[in-house]
Chain A
Amino acid sequence: MTDSAAYVGGQPATLTRRRWGRIRTPRLGLRARITLAFTLSATLLSALLALTTWGLTRESIINQRESSATTQAFRNAGIVRPYLLPDVDDETLRSTLGSLESDSAARALVRDEQGLWTNQTTEFDEKAVPRDLLRMVEDGTPARMRVTVNGQPQLLVGVPLSSVGGLYFEFVSLKDTQNALESLSASLFGATFVTTLAGAALGWWASRRTLRPLADVSSAAEAIAGGRLDTRLGAIEDPDLGVLVGSFNHMVEVLEQRIDRDGRFASDVSHELRSPLMTLSASIEVLASRRDDMPDASAQAAVDLMVADVARFKQLVEDLLEISRFDAGAARLEESDIRPGELIHQSVAWSQSPEVPIEIDPELENVVIRADKRRLVRVVANLLDNARKYGGGPTRIEVRREPASLTIAVEDNGPGVPEDERDLIFDRFSRGAGSSRRAGSEGVGLGLSLVVEHVALHRGRVWVESLPDDQEGARFVVQLPIDWDAVAPEEEDHHHDLLDDHHPDDHPEEEVP
């Protein structure tokens, strides 16, 4: 088997059509896009909501904290003020600051008129007061500022005590506020994340729901393509999709009618042709039997022409009828038990080809397969006739047992089939580039396309390839799938005869009443 072999039948030969001048970039599927849109929207909305919440809450918490800290600082400054008078000793001031600190969870720092700093807790000394703030307070303006002391966020409120020429500073820890804000942001972030996931899930679900009717349409279309033309989509309540279902079903309806009409036309024409053909066929035979008595050579030649072409015409009408049965979907397998060797001998007898060397796999000698004998005989006979017409006559038939199939190859030593025509020659009345050579005087006919149909009905394939070792010629191969495990060898003992008779003949459906 060569890689370049063209496969026809079995799997329908699909041609991928590409649009010209446009390179297609990989695009996401509709479902992925819907899901993505849902996810993005959910993320965007929840992030916006979270950010707004965060901004507003943060502002309000901080404002509240700052204003309460400021109020407290002013109150504490009032308490401290008397202790800054020059007659109060340091110790009293210090203990006052200490009691203030324990009451209000704040750190106090004062500077008296002489510029002497007093504080209760070591880290919260004058070095922690930024110069700008200090200057403002020195100028008599109360001010506040966020500072970091020992890595801890603090709000520093400065109150000028002008009456005693001192300054009061208070550090209020913002740790709690910061913690509160951090946990708020964490929960907002978490909420955003959860919403995003929920959005994605919703998108996935919604897209599946939305696309389910499309999946139905797709499987219906597959079924129709597979020949089940009576397939229709079930009614859908959704008014939007109902339109699609309606037009889909209408399309199939029209298509079915049209195929039916075309099929009937071919069939009707062939049926109509049969009666005159019958008359012609019988009359020409009467003439032909008197051919040698005719004195005129032209009359004899005319009779010869008519005999040949009436035969051809007859074959064509028979083929047309056969193929119109395929087109109408009316072709059915009539399986019976067949011995491969017998099949080949009958095919040779059926064809107009003389004896051909036959090579049959010895393994097939005692094997009986289930297949439609009439069709397979025509398949092989058509290949033999094809070889006779276009390949100078068949040179060899080879029947082989493959792991999961039976292959029948018909070879000739003719000009072969160019690679680009290996698909085309199986078309009906194919007119490939080399058709003038192939067509010869006998016409192209339907033989090979019938081969494809018969083989496809058996779920097999047929293709043409070159002969091995660069020999001149063509090799047509039919491959029929066979489950060898299910194939019983020919029965040698006949003890089960009576039993077999319960499911015996080739046509159980026509059992005599």
Chain B
Amino acid sequence: MGTRILTVEDDERIRTAVRLALEDEGWSVAEAENGEDALAIFAQAPTDVVLIDIMLPDIDGFEVCRAIRRSSDVPIVMVTARDDTHDVVAGLEAGADDYLTKPFAPKELSARIRALLRRARAADPTSPHLRFGDLEIIPDQGVVRREGAEVHLTKTEFKLLVELASSPGKVFSRETLLDKVWGYDYFADGRLVDVHVRRLRTKVETDAANPRHVVTVRGLGYKLQP
């Protein structure tokens, strides 16, 4: 079975047009017009990418995103009404891997989806086990343990951690991380990295406010403390 994408959007015309465009890419598309339907459809069939508009008639997009995140690390793209920090960051905090602002070009959406799919499948089996204090990373199994207990990371968070762990102590700029983890050249913004680093910290750090592993290098970016 091919790649299946779930689009959650209350405007029927937009939904149809997006479906047509995504089907042109060779993907199969499931549609939901509200949050409840979306969760029901998501529960029924395996889905590779979810596209959620945050403006929904019943439960809002953030809530749908959180609900999906509770059971799955499926790549999620949020569609925000405006490019303002509040919506973008709220969407990413809710667990989205990426966001788009309406009106977006379907080509851009396909590019993001392809990048997310690559990430979802990428697991380099040759990478060695890595250990940083209480943190243990096993790239080939996609497993991260803190103090021996497995930590559940989304694909993007995992890729981010592995990327930083590939050169411990090296400073990665936001641009580099966007390129390596998200697979974008320049058109994404640093907030993606910032929010994901924060989410990652809440999972891999004992005290997310005083991170010991994933640290900020002011003016430069982030690095993994060896």
Q: Given contacts A278-B102, A374-B189, A512-B208, are A497 and B219 in contact (CB under 8 A)?
A: no
CA distance A423 to B102 in the complex (A): 33
Select the stretch in B11-19, B121-129, B144-152 that faces chain A: B11-19
Q: CB distance A289 to B24 under 8 Å?
A: yes
Least CB separation from B211: chain A residue: A501
Please give, as numbers and ranges, the residues of chain A lying within 8 Å of B103 by CB-CB distance: 274-275, 277-278, 281, 314, 317-318
- In the bound complex, how far is the Cα of B163 from the Cα of A309, in angstroms? 41
Contact of A510 with B216 in the complex, beta carbons under 8 Å: no
Selected contact of A286 from candidates B11, B17, B223, CB within 8 Å: B17
**Which residues of B pack against A, CB within 8 Å?**
11, 13-14, 16-18, 20-21, 24, 81-83, 85-86, 89, 93, 102-107, 171, 173, 175, 185-187, 189-191, 194-195, 197-199, 202, 208, 210-212, 215-220, 223, 225
Are A491 and B215 interface neighbours, CB within 8 A?
Answer: no
Q: Residues of A contacting B220 with CB < 8 Å?
A: 337, 368, 490-491
Question: A283 and B198: CB pair below 8 A?
Answer: no
Say yes or no: is A253 at the interface (Cβ < 8 Å to chain B).
no
Q: Is the CB of A497 within 8 A of B14?
A: no
Please, which residues of chain B bring their CB within 8 A of the CB of A512? Answer: 93, 198-199, 202, 208
Quick one: which of A464-508 are within 8 Å of B by CB?
488, 490-491, 494, 496-498, 500-502, 504-507
The chain B residue with its CB closest to the CB of A346 is: B186
Contacts of A334 in B (CB 8 A): 85
Name the contact of B185 in the complex, choosing from A321, A349, A494, A497 (C-beta under 8 A).
A349
Question: What residues on A are CB-neighbors of B21 within 8 Å?
Answer: 282-283, 285-286
* A281 and B175 alpha carbons, distance in the complex (Å): 28
Q: Please state if A285 and B190 are interface contacts (CB–CB under 8 Å).
A: no
Q: Is the CB of A507 within 8 A of B11?
A: no
Q: Would A285 and B187 be within 8 Å (CB), given that A337-B218, A501-B211, A507-B89 are in contact?
A: no
Instruction: Give how many A residues have a beta carbon under 8 Å from the other chain's beta carbons.
Output: 48
Closest to A494 in B: B217
* Interface presence of A279 (CB below 8 A): yes
Partner of B216, one of A274, A282, A504: A504
Whole-angstrom distance between the Cβ of A57 and the nearest chain B Cβ: 85
Q: How far is the CB of B123 from chain A (nearest CB, A)?
A: 27
Q: What CA separation (Å) do A337 and B220 show in the bound complex? A: 8
Task: Provide the bound-state CA to CA distance between A9 and B101, in Å.
Answer: 28
Known contacts A285-B105, A490-B219, A498 near B210 by CB under 8 Å: yes
| A337 and B198 alpha carbons, distance in the complex (Å) | 18
| From A339, A368, A510, contact of B85 by CB (8 A) | A510
Q: Given that A282-B17, A512-B93 are contacting pairs, would A500 and B217 also be in contact in the complex, using a CB cutoff of 8 Å?
A: yes
Q: Is A208 an interface residue (CB 8 A)?
A: no
CB < 8 Å neighbour of A275 from B13, B85, B89, B212: B13
The answer for the CA separation of A496 and B220 in the assembled complex, in Å, is 13
How far does the alpha carbon of A498 sit from the alpha carbon of B217 in the complex, in Å? 9
Q: Residue-by-residue, is A261-283 near B (CB-CB < 8 Å gives 1, otherwise 0)?
A: 00000000001001111111111
Q: Given A490-B220, A510-B89, are A282 and B106 neighbors across the interface (CB < 8 Å)? A: yes
A501 to B187, CA, bound (A): 26
Least CB distance, B29 to chain A, in whole angstroms: 12
Return chain B residues, CB-CB under 8 Å to A349.
Answer: 185-187
Bound together, the chains give a CA A186 to CA B186 distance in angstroms of: 89
> Contacts A346-B175, A498-B210 known; A274 to B218 CB distance under 8 Å?
no
What's the Cα separation between A373 and B174 when bound, in Å? Answer: 12
Contact of A504 among B81, B186, B195, B218 (CB under 8 A): B218
Given contacts A283-B20, A285-B107, contact A373 B190 (CB under 8 A): yes
- CB of A497 within 8 A of CB of B215, answer yes
The residue on B at minimum CB distance from A497 is B215
Closest to B16 in A: A279
Q: A274-B102, A281-B103 are in contact. Are A505 and B211 (CB under 8 A)?
A: no
Query: Any chain B CB within 8 A of the CB of A350?
Result: yes
Q: What are 11 of the A-B contact pairs (CB < 8 Å)?
A: A274-B102, A274-B103, A279-B13, A281-B104, A285-B24, A286-B20, A349-B187, A494-B171, A498-B211, A510-B89, A510-B195
Nearest Cβ distance between residue A315 and chain B, in whole angstroms?
Answer: 10
The 4 closest A-B pairs by CB, nearest first: A282-B17, A349-B186, A504-B216, A368-B219
**Chain A residues with CB below 8 A from B17, complex form:** 278-283, 286
Contacts of B81 in A (CB 8 A): 271, 274
| Cα–Cα distance between A494 and B215 once the two chains are bound (Å) | 10
Q: Please, how many angstroms separate the alpha-carbon atoms of A339 and B176 in the complex?
A: 14
**Distance of B214 from chain A, by nearest CB (Å):** 9
Q: Which residues of A contact B106 (CB under 8 A)?
A: 281-282, 285-286
B residues within 8 A CB of A337? Answer: 218-220
The residue on B at minimum CB distance from A510 is B89
> A residues 278-297 with Cβ under 8 Å of B?
278-283, 285-286, 289
Chain B residue with Cβ nearest A290:
B24
Q: 8 Å CB contacts to B: which residues of A173-200?
A: none
Query: What is the minimal beta-carbon distance from B195 to any residue of chain A, in angstroms?
Result: 8
Docked Cα-Cα span, A286 to B21, in Å, equals 5
Shortest distance between the CB of B82 and any CB in chain A (Å): 7
Whether a CB of chain B sits under 8 angstroms from the CB of A342 is yes
- B191 contacts across to A, CB distance below 8 A: 506-507
Most chain B beta carbons < 10 A, residue from A275, A281, A283, A349: A281
What residues of A have a CB within 8 angstroms of the CB of B20 in the complex? 282-283, 286
